[in-house]
Amino acid sequence: MYLGFVSKLYFGFVNELMSIFWQATPAQDALDSVSLNKMDHLMEEYDLLLRSQLLDQQLYFEKLLAKETVKALELSFQLEQQQVL
């Protein structure tokens, strides 16, 4: 859920930047294809980095949630065992 929200937010932002970038301007006309390719490559690298970080955060919090769930189940089991005795 969190990753989906962040991804939508991020990609909406990237799409907006791309639309601004690709508007015809004198500065853009001055850029040659090599510069445009470099910028595209940098944007792809940044995109991969951000996706990687988001996935790492997702895995971290899923592991944290799993550990706490196991602790809660163990505690619940111990309480049930004490009530039986």
- Distance CA(79)–CA(74), nearest Å, equals 9
- Distance CA(4)–CA(17), nearest Å, equals 20
Reply yes or no on whether the pLDDT at 59 is more than 90: yes
Predicted model pTM: 0.53
- Distance CA(65)–CA(73), nearest Å, equals 12
Res. 26 pLDDT band, cuts 50 70 90: low
Residues 6+ apart with CB under 8 A from 47: 14
- Joined tokens for residue 19: 């639309």
Reply yes or no on whether the pLDDT at 61 is more than 90: yes
CA 75 from chain center: how many Å? 33
Domain boundaries, the chain: 2-84
